[in-house]
């Protein structure tokens, strides 16, 4: 059979490196679509002149767009038969990505653990994205629950190394050249600098966006993510097409502009979890919590560790997250923990 | 509160200059999306060679796309709490905008007038768009009805200067270099030149396009226009999401190709009014009336002053506009008065 | 009347050359939209480096995107009053098209044949696309059934020359410079080379995609194809908007990546037929049959002649095509016969 059936749990082997298909030259066309699909307004990614004033060659590609594209490459090899995308950790961004750069991706299988039901197992991979110079532009771990082809197959577990719950500030490396010394707060859309955010502070991002089938399908195809659950209404039946989790991340992060306009540059993804399914017709809202702060030293660069929560069909005025019993509030669809660079007032 | 609550009527001050956020480098990606979202076929904006034959460096950005982007920048500062977008006037286009140019925008508050109900007021602004060289690429006035935060707040009216009902021909300045002496009518798609249009002539643009939620949301996000009424089905409830008026302008102008293919280059927006709301599922039609003609002298450039009417769910065979009692026909959604450059036969 | 009423059958004249409007500079923006609209993953069109390793200057424009754009130009002149788009033949691709190239198009009328009902006739044209250097980038024949304006009009038939049922291998000309000697199968996403495909082999492309109104309208507008049946829900009424056949071709060809990832470069369109209408809400599936193989000699280039079948709302596990009585299976919407270049293992 020449079409790709996808790997089942017993097809993975710890230590193996899987080279993913379809190298991709990211262009200004992709960047424009990213704006149309998310409404993102972070100035650093929208204006060559703003980016140059921040020490970069010109406006880089939104790291989340690049993340979704690298993630998408791994789908046919890692998660075509996945039951669930369970989480991310240890996401780091390296060299900034500019229009014209070409991304390739590969994944190391770093852990395999069969579930007690014998029908599924959890696969851990570390996926790396490289540019055309062979420089690492990102790496992240993710783990997915994958069906076994044959429930009787016997697999020796090889648990993944323990992953960090979050990167510490000393592990953060801002893009070479980044310099917020001459940052224009008015053009960026907010007067709030690193110094203005306190640990524990919560921010309601106010706006809500209702998502259409065509929108999430266009986004997911732009990422060349082929997971079937996003595209086929016929096989989805009553439960409907599932929106790719990355769409929720990017929409929530675009909403977060309203309150975090200067938290421009993603430095790390500490953790991510898609808590509940999102469907077309749902309205997405978001709020953020400041979990940590770090002065990165020179060039007026600070970093905020932020927890971004996205909900469906419920505004975030009262910061919904968990119920009294510890379970997630039923409105919550995403919990996403990241570090972002933000200018110090200096 | 770090998220932007938007300004209320009493937050504006006549004479104030508001710098708007998110400078934007407009790219070929934006131009491609503009074609996909509107279907526009005016040759000057589609072909580098056609534009060069008309004396330009290469294909410029559609002035309406740039207009919506500049307008979008003003929304968070001017009209986030607007009840209604009442009108435009004195729109002028300056230096042509090319892919790679970066637009910034600011607005002067030029008038404030409280409504007799005490709950709202009308804010007049003049919004200016600049390119990365500081050259003015456009300016226009608009006025919006904005809620007061506090009905008891007392405001001293400062009426706006009287705005011109339309620009006169002597105020028009075609882009430097524009030259229609070697214009290719066959490639442009119509044999009709300046000389063929008579004042009072009406043109039915024939075609109709049904608008989807995903389409207007993608367009409005491309413009980075964040007005809530366009995106949130939950808060919109029964009345549904409202389509941003600029979407109607661009779709109607794209339909107008069929009859006005050579009226390529917007020179001025004399007036604009969104007469009735447009919703997804509506089918938009358009017709135009020639209101004035002006020979701009050299380089075979003429100008037509055109009134563009867009209707919903009613073809324009009989040019619907007003009823016997002077009210708008219920099908009319847009009245838009502009000057466009058109080649003389020479 | 200045708006274009479209040509009726009696308006065509054999031997006539019709120059089509709106020259188009194709950009990276169009290429990005093509990915978002189709999900295509063929590496040659996605990565500058991959294309360079195959001897090309950088990633060319997907020939199908260019085909739809050239086709779209011919619509206002050829098929605005068409009842049905009956078929294609003798499609050849010439010089590769790169971002920045400008396409123009013209059509020769090569055949006219009135139908026995006297109300319609069949128009044959050969449409040619040129780049800005005047080089032919493609040509193809198509025939459409067009309404007569006046059933009483008497027309002398001028039958089209007989068209080839398919191009033979010796008529294929790969793009100058194309060289698969150093082809990277892993990056391309499939280990299967020319040698692995046998005549008669059938491949189920497995995946299905449900199409939304916004998606096909965006695509068809990107192609600047203005045929009314695709856009106007009001005039379409109960039967709904018809999806432009080219959308089915591109989606099916994108699905065909799963099984034919190395059949990268379209060399010729032998035949195409839109068997049944496709509507929004339909789910498209596809399968392919290898109809012929040809070793093109040097540079490790082979060619496969492929029949691509697209169905609606029925998976292609059992390769649906025709019923026992010779009629098409009701699920079939497209039969498309083409040659594609594929690397030899060498």
All residues at 6 or more sequence positions from C242 whose CB lies less than 8 Å from its CB, including other chains: C229, C230, C236, C277, C278, C279
pLDDT at C40 over 90: yes
List of chain A residues whose C-beta atoms are within 8 Å of the C-beta of residue B102: 47-50
Do A210 and A144 belong to one domain? Answer: no
* Number of compact structural domains in chain C: 2
Do B208 and B311 belong to one domain? Answer: yes
How many CB atoms within 10 Å of residue C99? 19
Quote the minimal CA–CA distance from A26 to chain B in Å: 12
Distance (Å, rounded) from C-alpha B307 to C-alpha B264? 15
Q: What is the pLDDT of residue A38?
A: 98
Q: Does B210 touch chain A (CB under 8 A)?
A: no
CA distances from A55 to A50, A52, A266 (A): 9, 5, 16
Q: Does B29 touch chain A (CB under 8 A)?
A: yes
List of chain C residues whose C-beta atoms are within 8 Å of the C-beta of residue B30: 29
CB contact under 8 A, C100 and B48: yes
Which one of A204, A205, A261 has the shortest CB-CB distance to B21? A261
Three-state DSSP class for residue B215: helix
Do A10 and A124 belong to one domain? Answer: yes
Q: Does C32 touch chain B (CB under 8 A)?
A: yes
Q: Which residues in chain A come in under a pLDDT of 70?
A: 346
- Nearest CA-CA partner of C129 in C60, C59, C79, C67: C67
List of chain C residues whose C-beta atoms are within 8 Å of the C-beta of residue A100: 48
Show which of A150, A172, A199 is a domain's final residue: A150
CB contact under 8 A, C31 and A29: yes
Distance (Å, rounded) from C-alpha A285 to C-alpha A278? 12
Q: What is the pLDDT of residue A81?
A: 82
Distance (Å, rounded) from C-alpha A258 to C-alpha A330? 24
Quote the minimal CA–CA distance from B199 to chain A in Å: 39
Distance (Å, rounded) from C-alpha C241 to C-alpha C230? 5
CATH number of the domain that residue B183 is part of: 3.10.129.10
CB contact under 8 A, A226 and C32: no
Distance (Å, rounded) from C-alpha A214 to C-alpha A209? 14
Q: Does A224 touch chain C (CB under 8 A)?
A: yes
Burial, A311: exposed, middle or buried (Cβ in 10 Å; 0-12, 13-18, 19+)?
Answer: buried
Q: What is the pLDDT of residue A196?
A: 98
Do A214 and A134 belong to one domain? Answer: no
CA distances from C206 to C39, C243, C317, C332 (A): 15, 22, 7, 15
State the pLDDT confidence band at C172, using cuts at 50, 70 and 90. Answer: very high
State the pLDDT confidence band at C206, using cuts at 50, 70 and 90. Answer: very high
pLDDT at C338 over 90: yes
Q: What is the pLDDT of residue C5?
A: 83
State the pLDDT confidence band at B296, using cuts at 50, 70 and 90. Answer: very high
- Supply B92's token pair: 């002028």
State the pLDDT confidence band at B206, using cuts at 50, 70 and 90. Answer: very high
Q: Per the domain annotation, does B186 fall within a domain? A: yes
Quote the minimal CA–CA distance from C62 to chain B in Å: 15
Q: Per the domain annotation, does C45 fall within a domain? A: no
Distance (Å, rounded) from C-alpha C305 to C-alpha C170? 13
Which one of A25, A218, A219 has the shortest CB-CB distance to C47? A25
How big is the CA angle at C26 (ends C20 and C31), to the nearest 5 degrees?
Answer: 130
Q: What is the pLDDT of residue C298?
A: 84
Q: What is the pLDDT of residue B151?
A: 86
- Supply B190's token pair: 């119509």
Q: What is the pLDDT of residue B162?
A: 93
Instruction: Read off the pLDDT of residues B152-197 as tens digits, 9 standing for 90 and up.
Output: 888 888 988 999 999 999 999 999 999 999 999 999 999 999 999 9
Q: Does B57 touch chain C (CB under 8 A)?
A: no
Q: Does A104 touch chain C (CB under 8 A)?
A: yes
Q: What is the DSSP string of B142-203?
A: EEEEEE-S-TT-----BPPPPPPSS--GGG--PPTT---TT--HHHHT----GGG--TT-EE
How big is the CA angle at B7 (ends A313 and A288), to the nearest 5 degrees?
Answer: 40
Distance (Å, rounded) from C-alpha A112 to C-alpha A118? 13
Burial, C250: exposed, middle or buried (Cβ in 10 Å; 0-12, 13-18, 19+)?
Answer: buried
CB A109 within 8 A of CB A123: yes
How many CB atoms within 10 Å of residue C335? 18
Closest B-chain CA to C235: B208
List of chain B residues whose C-beta atoms are within 8 Å of the C-beta of residue A213: 214
Distance (Å, rounded) from C-alpha C63 to C-alpha B109? 51
- Nearest CA-CA partner of A211 in C16, C180, C214, B289: C214
Burial, C239: exposed, middle or buried (Cβ in 10 Å; 0-12, 13-18, 19+)?
Answer: exposed
Which one of A24, A33, A234 has the shortest CB-CB distance to C47? A24
Do B14 and B104 belong to one domain? Answer: yes
| Phi, psi at A8, each rounded to 5° | -100, 175
Q: What is the pLDDT of residue C171?
A: 95
Do A213 and A329 belong to one domain? Answer: yes
CB contact under 8 A, B283 and C233: yes
Distance (Å, rounded) from C-alpha A236 to C-alpha A221? 18
CA within 13 Å, CB half, A264:
34
The secondary structure element, H or E, covering residue B113 is strand B102-114
CB contact under 8 A, C41 and A224: yes
- Nearest CA-CA partner of B292 in B180, B169, B163: B169
pTM: 0.97
CA within 13 Å, CB half, B20:
32
Instruction: Read off the pLDDT of residues C98-142 as tens digits, 9 standing for 90 and up.
Output: 999 999 999 999 999 999 888 999 999 999 999 999 999 999 999
Which one of A37, A205, A259 has the shortest CB-CB distance to B218? A37
State the pLDDT confidence band at B142, using cuts at 50, 70 and 90. Answer: very high
Please tell me whether the interface predicted TM-score (ipTM) of this complex is above 0.90: yes
Q: What is the pLDDT of residue A253?
A: 98
CB contact under 8 A, B22 and A258: no
How big is the CA angle at C281 (ends C280 and C283), to the nearest 5 degrees?
Answer: 105
Q: Per the domain annotation, does A232 fall within a domain? A: yes
pLDDT at C71 over 80: yes
Q: Does B311 touch chain A (CB under 8 A)?
A: no
The subunits that touch chain A, with at least 3 C-beta pairs less than 8 Å apart, are B, C
Show which of C163, C194, C219 is a domain's final residue: C163
Q: Does B313 touch chain A (CB under 8 A)?
A: no
Do B132 and B200 belong to one domain? Answer: no
Q: Per the domain annotation, does A168 fall within a domain? A: no
CA within 13 Å, CB half, B98:
14
Q: Per the domain annotation, does B161 fall within a domain? A: no
Q: Does B235 touch chain A (CB under 8 A)?
A: yes
All residues at 6 or more sequence positions from A163 whose CB lies less than 8 Å from its CB, including other chains: A89, A90, A141
Q: Per the domain annotation, does A316 fall within a domain? A: yes
Do C107 and C255 belong to one domain? Answer: no
Parallel, antiparallel, or unpaired: how do β-strands B265-274 and B209-210 relate?
A: unpaired
Q: What is the pLDDT of residue C231?
A: 97
All residues at 6 or more sequence positions from B50 whose CB lies less than 8 Å from its CB, including other chains: B43, B44, B59, B184, B187, B188, C23, C102
Q: What is the mean pLDDT of residues C249-259?
A: 98
Which domain does B187 fall in, by range?
Answer: 178-346
Q: What is the mean pLDDT of residues C230-259?
A: 97
CB A192 within 8 A of CB A183: no
Q: Per the domain annotation, does A260 fall within a domain? A: yes
Quote the minimal CA–CA distance from C230 to chain B in Å: 9
B vs C, Cβ pairs < 8 A, gives 132
Do A141 and A195 belong to one domain? Answer: no
The secondary structure element, H or E, covering residue C219 is helix C213-222
Q: Per the domain annotation, does B83 fall within a domain? A: yes
| Phi, psi at B315, each rounded to 5° | -65, 160
The subunits that touch chain C, with at least 3 C-beta pairs less than 8 Å apart, are A, B
Q: What is the pLDDT of residue C82?
A: 85
Do A138 and A203 belong to one domain? Answer: no
Helix crossing, A28-38 with A245-255: angle to 10°?
80
- The DSSP secondary-structure symbol of A292 reads E
Q: Does A204 touch chain B (CB under 8 A)?
A: yes
Do C200 and C337 belong to one domain? Answer: yes
Do A290 and A229 belong to one domain? Answer: yes
- The DSSP secondary-structure symbol of C324 reads T
Residue that has been written with the tokens 């009956």 in this structure: C86
3-state DSSP of C271-304 = EEEECCCCCCCCEEEEEEEEEEEEECCCCCEEEE
């Amino acid at each position: 059979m020449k079409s790709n059936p996808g790997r089942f749990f017993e097809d993975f082997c710890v230590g193996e490196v899987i080279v993913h298909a379809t190298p991709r030259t990211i262009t200004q066309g992709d960047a424009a679509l990213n704006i149309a699909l998310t409404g993102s307004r972070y100035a650093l990614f929208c204006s060559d002149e703003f980016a140059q004033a921040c020490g970069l060659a010109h406006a880089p590609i939104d790291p989340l767009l690049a993340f979704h594209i690298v993630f998408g490459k791994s789908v046919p090899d890692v998660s075509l038969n996945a039951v669930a995308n369970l989480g991310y950790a240890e996401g780091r961004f390296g060299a900034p990505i500019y229009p014209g750069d070409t991304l390739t991706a590969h994944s190391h299988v770093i852990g395999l653990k069969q579930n007690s039901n014998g029908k599924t197992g959890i696969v851990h991979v570390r996926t790396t994205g490289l540019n055309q110079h062979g420089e690492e532009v990102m790496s992240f771990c993710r783990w997915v629950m994958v069906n076994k082809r044959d429930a009787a197959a016997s697999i020796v577990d090889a648990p993944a190394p323990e992953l960090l719950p979050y990167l510490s500030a000393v592990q953060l490396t801002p893009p070479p050249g980044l310099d917020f010394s001459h940052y224009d707060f008015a053009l960026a859309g907010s007067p709030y600098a690193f110094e203005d955010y306190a640990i524990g502070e919560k921010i309601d991002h106010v706006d809500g966006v209702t998502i259409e089938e065509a929108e999430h399908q266009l986004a997911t195809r732009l990422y060349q993510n082929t997971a079937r659950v996003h595209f086929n209404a016929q096989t989805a039946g009553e439960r409907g097409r599932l929106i790719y989790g990355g769409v929720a991340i990017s929409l929530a992060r675009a909403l977060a502009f309203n309150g975090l306009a200067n938290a421009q540059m993603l430095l790390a993804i500490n953790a991510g979890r898609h808590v509940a399914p999102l469907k077309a017709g749902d309205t997405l809202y978001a709020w953020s919590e400041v979990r940590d702060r770090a002065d990165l030293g020179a060039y007026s660069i600070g970093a905020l560790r932020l927890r971004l929560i996205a909900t469906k069909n419920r505004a975030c005025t009262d910061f919904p997250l968990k119920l009294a019993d510890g379970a997630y509030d039923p409105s919550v669809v995403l919990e996403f923990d990241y570090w972002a660079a933000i200018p110090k007032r200096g």
